[in-house]
Structure 1
């Protein structure tokens, strides 16, 4: 079942308040997710954009024309499905403005818990011709793309963030404006004499990989696995800038459903445990199981987690040995061997 914000997005077309795009028109769908039903008369082809691998794969399964990155210009319609991150939502609107022609229709929708009301008020300040419609615990709003969008794009587009003066990140990525305290704790316990092959599961923008490469400069190489295409691109740049001599490979990968090919002597990870606003420890548990499966015999897993997450049970059921390295008021560092 599609989430409510997706239904909210298409509701103005369903009701006839907005004419659906027809033959000869082109539609760009930013933040696209599977599960939508096209209203009657909505026959224009959709170019969907989704950088998150799990959501990308569900779109691919429904035979959508989908890419992790935006391409093309002069679209007649842009659809923007908002998520939980303000900066990312604003950036998608900026991207819609850049990729559409003058006079194009831009439709934006999101849930109230994702801050759609404040986003609508911010966009209203540009005084573009448009309207809005609440439905399904959310709001859809739309406007006509003006001729000059340079000022709006400048104000809305996300700006890369420098973290600790060393790393590049951006809004929408995990811990985009600071080093995560849990990752920092794990980094302080990384080996300084490791010489094998390593992997970083859920690498984000690459902090742990850089820290491992710097702690153990003799390692043979590290593979970074990340489901967020944008974060993986940032990780590529951060490895090049901060660990340029370390052999590294980068995989856009859903570790909860896609197997890895190689086996590793060491895997480090700060597993994600949120989906949307809700805590979902099952996501982290699935990635831990994938990591243990990807270890060589005798290989070692090192992970950090919030103290309250029940990952010890997963380790007990799937690892040969496991234990706790350290903990503080918020986090614990765990290890396991295959």
Structure 2
């Protein structure tokens, strides 16, 4: 479903409240999604940035010039589609100022639950003059990039976080401030001394793969699959020195929609059940279906899930055997064999 805020982002141009980028002027679009139409006269020279693989692929199918991480500088306009992560939105503003020219227009849009009003007021409190309007159940606001951005960048930037004294994460990643309780519960039941090929589906910033490598340092291979490019990059940093260059690999991958080309003896996962802003329990079921296809005969899947999520019937349908091996007040650990 298209978020209303992406339409709101372009509305100030559509009603001529803002002058659109002209020929020769360049636009950076942070957090880009589909669902917008360029207003008349808007120069289509847009570089879109979207680290989430499903949204990245949707932009590619539309023909948008999209990349997974920010690149380039001296942009004339920067568009920011806000997320629900305050720190990520603040860092978007810092990126926007660093990548744009003095005097560039920086335009943001987000719904109330994205913190659009509070972020605008925070900028105002830091001496930034903004203008705003509401449309499509969201708010757009904009300001002119100052000549000197050093103090404002320092005030706005949200630093990386170090979790458990070893994992470096950043705002916007899943469970960036602490280890997810479900993943920590699952880590207790990972095998010790395992030596075959393993995949970590939805690996995030690498906690479960690290836990497996600590318990099974002689494993043949661990492949991490993650849809968020930034989280996968963090996992690559976090796992440096845990495995070897030859037995840890990283795949930016949409497990709900893209085929996995390799096959494994064991797949571990804490499957998501949200995609973007929407709750989608079927996403975890899609992960299970992909895992069933990617396992070798006799291979095992071990996963953790909220106790209320209905995965047992699907496991019984796709696997020869399946069972619950542990549960606590919030989570259950399920195991299945092909």
> What range describes the TM-score normalised by the shorter chain of this pair?
over 0.9
Matches within 5 A, 1:247-266: 247-266=247-266
Give the corresponding residue for 1:77: 77
Partners of 1:303 and 1:335 within 8 A in 2: yes
Pairwise CA distance, 1:36:
1.1
Deviation, structure 1 residue 245: 6.9
Unmatched tracts of structure 2, length 5 or more: none
Question: What TM-score, normalized by structure 2, do the two folds share?
Answer: 0.98
Equivalent residue for 1:294? 294
In the other structure, the counterpart of 1:168 is 168
Q: Work out the CA distance in 2 between the residues paired with 1:330 and 1:86.
A: 27
Partner residue in 1 for 2:179: 179
| 1:175, distance to aligned residue in structure 2 (A) | 0.7
How many aligned positions are there?
338
- Structure 1 residues 247-272: Cα deviation after superposition (integer angstroms, max 9, x where no partner): 10000000011101110000000001
Aligned to 1:136: 136
By how many angstroms is 1:277 displaced? 4.0
Give yes or no for the alignment of 1:222 onto 2:233.
no
Q: Secondary structure at the match of 1:107?
A: strand
**Aligned partner of residue 290 in structure 1, secondary structure:** helix
Aligned to 1:117: 117
- 8 Å contact 1:128–1:145 — kept in the other structure? no
Of stretches 16-25 and 153-162 in structure 1, the one that deviates more from structure 2 is 153-162
Cα distance in 2 for residues equivalent to 1:26 and 1:306: 45
The CA RMSD over aligned residues, in Å, is: 1.2
Q: Which residue in 2 is equivalent to 1:334? A: 334
Describe the SS at the equivalent of 1:193. Answer: coil
| Cα displacement string for residues 263-298 of structure 1 (whole angstroms, at most 9, x for unaligned residues) | 000000000111234421101110111011100000
CA contact (8 A) 2:38 2:44 kept: no
1:33 and 1:47 map into 2 onto residues whose CA distance is 12
State the TM-score, normalizing by the size of structure 1.
0.98
Contact 1:217 1:246 in 2 (8 A): no
Q: 1:268 maps to which residue?
A: 268
Q: Give the aligned partner of residue 16 of structure 2.
A: 16
Matched residue, 2:105:
105
Verify the 8 A CA contact 2:120 2:130 in the aligned structure 1. no
Residue number in structure 2 paired with 1:52? 52
Between the aligned partners of 2:175 and 2:246, the Cα distance in structure 1 is: 24
- Runs of 5+ consecutive residues of structure 1 not aligned to the other structure: none
